[in-house]
């Protein structure tokens, strides 16, 4: 039964726990133990359960997780999240400082530059409105990212409500920073996974990326992610005039910032800061791979401007990748979704760049032969970008007489099927080998990888059915999932699905609804999802614009799959293929050429393809094109009064009338090509609000620029909203 004093206790506990979070994550001066914090958090949760009328979205209890979301939403960044150019040596740093100084002129100021640790995590943008956390977005493509607010709200280092001195908070404040799994938590997570018989997470950065992309926020809560701010997005005018002022103000509001940032006046000062941090960084509880050097004052940043992809006022100095020596114990031969077989090294565990490494890539069997890598050798390994370990080579002086040569598999290690080796010359010289591939389309290893690819967001986009769920179902032994078509029969096993560990009623409902929706995705998504060699997303869309259905695509002779390539052939070759030596007039682009079209054509006429399409059709999957442009319409699109056909468009900034994805579909349906970057081949840039570097690049190259009003006036009436 609720008691009269409980509302006051709720307020007291919320204040205490909020202060404790700030003391730990912002001030680095804890005021209570973890045990005490957890005890008070449990007490608060119990009191809040008795007083639902006192619910507060900024309460410390919301950080324990909450309900899973049903899928991700992509949102635009108000200010683009650009990448920063990398440098790797003293000379490059000095050259950059000199370029900046020439533009800024005047005497060097003591705080002209700020050197800030580069945390090796996942970049996010936190948007606060009226002091409340409104949303958190991943970097994405720089102009838009996935909304991961559900995960960000579990991170104790991220304030849910800004604690502004005097109670004054900005109307809008965007804080950019890095999410990461602390190394101590990473070690704990892997200990618990080992005890549960689960495979360990490979490295903190990838684990962080995977954590925030999980639909269930309780996973992020359990992994206790950290956060540190490193920049700004949109903010109120006059909020701050420099990076140091900005960081000081957000720290005062409760946002975690690095205590290791330092100012410098010139290149010597910058290099001194870089050297000092390199000596100190390995004592931190998170991974770092460099130091970001930026011009401090925002006015000077504006003067320096941007290139097409990066600010001119900042660089990232990257420390040399760490290397270590260990012993190669064995080699696994892994089979991917296209049948490609790659060697993976298993080694004696070794600490490298803050993580324990047991596996590394050997790239391909040609490199194994070139480097003469053998089982039992002492090898040197490195992390590419401090993320992916790979074997650099052999320590020849330490070679044991018992070392054994690595023998590439003569048959597929998963199905014992036929293996093809590319190029053909590698049969005589193994050092030339680039690819070893299983050609059996029913290979079980390929089946698993293809299923995972098929359900992905850019393919069939099936909510609730990801890699782990596919493995869970396949390992159950009671629910068939060995073919793409089996996915669309999972509703027949609803009861059995609900009985699987970690799959509850809601998860199963979301998955089955996603499967039903996926039936109507159409031919382009299906083709992109099947893992056909040379057919990715853009080629699948191009084929769908030319052929009305999968049946029409299969019936087409090979030359119809490569009409643009046909015109570059000799008359004799065109005559052999088409029966006429004449060139085609304005042939549609299918995305395939003279080398790739025969491969795709051969697959389409294989027994495996025929069975796949027949089974998908039988379970209700739509194999007709939603992008098809009939020849008569294509001819009209090519008319002089169509400003879209045959032209390349780029979008930048925020558009009020359209979502980017839907506008891209409209433009492509009108015969345009939509690109993600501005170049000399770009015809038109569509610029919305807060357009960034792409607009600058367009003006620099003299590319035509349309605002949203011009776009609407050029679109046919049927494509205008309302």
319 and 297 Cβ atoms separated by less than 8 Å = no
- Residue 355 CA to residue 286 CA, distance in Å, equals 10
Q: Which residues are paired to 202 by β-bridges?
A: none
Q: Where are the beta strands (DSSP E) in 109-237?
A: 113-119, 122-129, 132-138, 144-146, 172-180, 226-235
- Residue 217 CA to residue 718 CA, distance in Å, equals 41
Active site residue 404: no
What is the 3-state secondary structure of 339-402?
A: CEEEEEEEEEEEEECCEEEEEEECCCHHHHHHHCCEECCEEEEEEECCCEEEEEEECHHHCCCC
The contacts of residue 275 (CB under 8 Å, 6+ apart) are none
From 3, 105, 107, 118, active-site residue: 118
Q: State the distance between the two ends of the chain, measured CA to CA, in whole angstroms.
A: 55
- Residue 387 CA to residue 343 CA, distance in Å, equals 18
Q: Where are the beta strands (DSSP E) in 209-287?
A: 226-235, 262-264
Look up residue 108 and give its DSSP letter.
P
**What are φ and ψ of residue 327, in 5° steps?**
-110, 130
**What are φ and ψ of residue 137, in 5° steps?**
-120, 140
The contacts of residue 526 (CB under 8 Å, 6+ apart) are 460, 550, 616, 621, 623
- Residue 412 CA to residue 421 CA, distance in Å, equals 12
Structure tokens at 607: 């027994």
- Residue 57 CA to residue 153 CA, distance in Å, equals 9
Structure tokens at 142: 């720089």
Q: Active-site residues: which are they?
A: 118
């Amino acid at each position: 039964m609720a008691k009269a004093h409980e509302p006051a206790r709720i307020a007291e506990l919320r204040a205490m726990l909020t202060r404790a979070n700030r003391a730990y994550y912002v001030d680095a001066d804890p005021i209570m133990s973890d045990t005490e914090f957890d005890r008070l958090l449990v007490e608060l949760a119990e009191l809040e359960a008795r007083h639902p009328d006192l619910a507060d979205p900024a309460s410390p209890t919301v950080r324990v997780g909450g309900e899973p979301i049903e899928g991700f939403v992509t949102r635009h960044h108000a200010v683009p999240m650009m990448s920063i150019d990398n440098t790797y040596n003293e000379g490059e740093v000095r050259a950059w400082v000199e370029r900046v100084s020439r533009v800024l002129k005047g005497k060097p100021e003591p705080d002209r530059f700020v050197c800030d640790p580069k945390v090796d995590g996942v970049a996010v943008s936190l948007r606060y409105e009226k002091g409340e956390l409104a949303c958190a977005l991943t970097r994405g493509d720089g102009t838009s990212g996935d909304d991961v607010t559900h995960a960000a709200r579990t991170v104790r280092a991220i304030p849910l409500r800004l604690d502004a001195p005097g109670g004054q908070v900005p109307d809008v404040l965007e804080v950019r920073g890095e999410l990461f799994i602390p190394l101590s938590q990473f070690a704990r997570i892997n200990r618990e996974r080992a005890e549960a018989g689960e495979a360990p997470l490979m490295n903190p950065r990838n684990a962080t990326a995977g954590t925030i992309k999980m639909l269930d926020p309780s996973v992020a809560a359990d992994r206790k992610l950290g956060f540190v701010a490193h920049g700004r997005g949109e903010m109120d005018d006059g909020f701050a005039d420099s990076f140091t002022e900005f960081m000081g103000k957000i720290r005062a509001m409760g946002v975690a910032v690095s205590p290791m940032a330092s100012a410098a006046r010139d290149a010597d000062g910058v290099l001194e800061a870089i050297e000092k941090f390199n000596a100190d960084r390995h004592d931190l509880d998170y991974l770092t791979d460099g130091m970001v050097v930026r011009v401090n004052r925002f006015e000077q940043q504006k003067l320096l401007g941007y290139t097409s992809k990066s600010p001119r006022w900042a660089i990232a100095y990257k420390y040399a990748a760490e290397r270590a020596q260990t012993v190669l114990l064995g080699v696994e031969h892994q089979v991917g979704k296209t049948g490609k077989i790659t060697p993976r090294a298993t080694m004696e565990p070794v600490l490298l760049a803050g993580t324990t490494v047991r596996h590394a890539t050997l790239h391909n069997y040609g490199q194994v032969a070139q480097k003469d890598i053998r089982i039992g050798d002492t090898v040197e390994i490195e992390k590419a970008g401090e993320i992916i370990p790979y074997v650099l080579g052999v320590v020849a002086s330490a070679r044991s007489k018992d070392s054994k040569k690595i023998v590439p598999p003569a048959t597929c290690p998963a199905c014992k099927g036929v293996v093809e080796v590319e190029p053909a010359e590698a049969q005589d010289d193994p050092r030339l080998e680039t690819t070893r591939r299983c050609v059996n389309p029913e290979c079980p290893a390929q089946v698993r990888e293809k299923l995972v690819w098929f359900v992905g967001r850019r393919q069939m986009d099936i909510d609730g059915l990801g890699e782990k769920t596919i493995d869970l179902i396949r390992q159950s032994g009671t629910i068939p999932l060995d073919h793409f078509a089996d996915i669309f029969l999972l509703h027949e096993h609803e009861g059995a699905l609900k009985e699987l560990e970690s799959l509850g009623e809601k998860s199963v409902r979301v998955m089955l609804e996603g499967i039903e929706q996926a039936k109507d995705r159409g031919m382009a998504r299906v083709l992109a999802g099947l893992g056909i060699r040379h057919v990715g997303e853009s080629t699948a869309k191009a084929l769908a614009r030319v052929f009305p259905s999968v049946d029409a695509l299969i019936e087409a002779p090979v030359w119809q799959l490569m009409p643009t390539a046909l015109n570059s052939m000799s008359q004799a070759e065109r005559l052999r293929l088409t029966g006429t030596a004449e060139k085609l007039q304005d042939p549609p682009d299918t995305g395939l050429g003279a080398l790739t079209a025969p491969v795709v054509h051969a697959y389409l006429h294989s027994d495996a393809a025929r069975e796949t399409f027949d089974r998908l059709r039988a379970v209700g999957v739509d194999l007709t094109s939603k992008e098809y442009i009939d020849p008569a319409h294509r001819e009209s699109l090519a008319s002089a009064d169509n400003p879209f056909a045959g032209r390349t468009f780029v979008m930048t900034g925020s558009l009020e009338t359209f979502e980017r994805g839907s506008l891209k579909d409209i433009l492509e349906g009108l015969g345009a090509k939509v690109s993600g970057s501005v170049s000399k081949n770009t015809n038109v840039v569509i610029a919305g609000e807060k357009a960034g570097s792409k607009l600058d690049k367009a003006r620099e190259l003299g590319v035509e620029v349309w605002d949203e009003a011009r776009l609407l006036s050029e679109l046919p009436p049927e494509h205008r909203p309302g």
